[in-house]
Amino acid sequence: MSTPPRLGTPAAAGAATARPQGWVADFVLLAAIWGASFLFMRMGAVEFGPLPTAAVRVAIAALFLLPLVWLRGLLPELKKHWRRTFLIGMLNSGIPFACISFALLSISTGLSSILNATVPMFGALVAWVWLKDRPTASRMLGLVIGFAGVALLAWDQATFKAGASGVASGWAVPACLLACVCYGISASYTKRFLSGLPPLVTAAGSQIGATLGLALPALWLWPARMPGASAWLALLAVGVVCTGIAYILFFRLIENAGPPRALAVTFVVPVFAVFYGVLLLGEAVTLWMVGCGGVIVCGTALATGLLKIGR
């Protein structure tokens, strides 16, 4: 999953009164799509490696989104703001996708998706430090609870002995959290510097920027043996469906339901990711994972103001 950068637009801020029929379907569909992204990236990373997986994903998304920009006559906007949209691409897609691909080599798709549910929490923390958006006491309590849940989950995975994949699972948790930090920074950067830019321009520009930023490292680390058809199909799906189409769905959800409800999709993504992992990959789900996931979701809901204690 990526954290889309259009939470601060006037259209998004005033759109919390949508008809339920209009946004609930988008909400569930988006959660299902982003839940599948962990499965597809796992399938790609095993054969491509982390950096090439991330590079192919953003390249496919860029090829999908760029014609839409052209058809809507938004190419001048993209040319005008290419520097900042390209930069946001590395923060919002390039680095996070590489980190998650690396993590998926040694931890389950369900665990990585639970860690990814901390994205709104890191977003609130970055906004506090950078944008001086000081949280209330309730939100500060949420930050503490959320990070406690992450610490407990990480402690259970804290082994630095290489597994069957050659990667120690102890490094996977920091990699996932680094991805979440990047998402938080990119959201605040976009709110500060890219407000008012059409969402499709930001989405396409970010994927182009991520593609350019990852191209040389991906070529350097390209696998000696050509990946099979299943790995290519997995990256095609994650590029078109889980990145290109998902961006469009998320922006529409912001417009129709408002940012708080749109952000809440992060809490539902792990449900689908765990389901896909158990059904298709035979992954195990422990009570510890479920309990820590519940702590993280509750802390994140408090930290973002979706759940409040007192007035």
Overall number of domains in the chain: 1
Domain that holds residue 36: 16-303
Can you give the pLDDT at residue 261?
A: 65
Do the domain assignments include residue 61?
A: yes
What is the three-class DSSP state of 75?
Answer: helix
Can you give the pLDDT at residue 204?
A: 93
Cβ count within 10 A of residue 207: 31
Do the domain assignments include residue 309?
A: no
Give the type of residue at 143: L
Do the domain assignments include residue 4?
A: no
Do the domain assignments include residue 109?
A: yes
CA distance to 95, 203, 286, per residue, from 58 (Å): 11, 11, 32
Can you give the pLDDT at residue 7?
A: 43
Can you give the pLDDT at residue 22?
A: 64
Do the domain assignments include residue 257?
A: yes
DSSP 8-state assignment for residue 197: S
What is the three-class DSSP state of 195?
Answer: coil
Residue-wise pLDDT tens digits, 71-119: 999 999 999 999 999 999 999 899 999 999 999 998 888 888 888 888 8
Do the domain assignments include residue 310?
A: no
Can you give the pLDDT at residue 87?
A: 93
Do the domain assignments include residue 173?
A: yes
What is the three-class DSSP state of 13?
Answer: helix
Distance CA 265, CA 306 (A): 12
Do the domain assignments include residue 43?
A: yes
DSSP 8-state assignment for residue 172: H
What is the three-class DSSP state of 162?
Answer: strand
Can you give the pLDDT at residue 289?
A: 85
Distance CA 225, CA 57 (A): 19
CA distance to 86, 211, 234, per residue, from 238 (Å): 20, 15, 6
Give the residue ranges of the chain where pLDDT is below 50: 4-18, 20, 160, 162-165
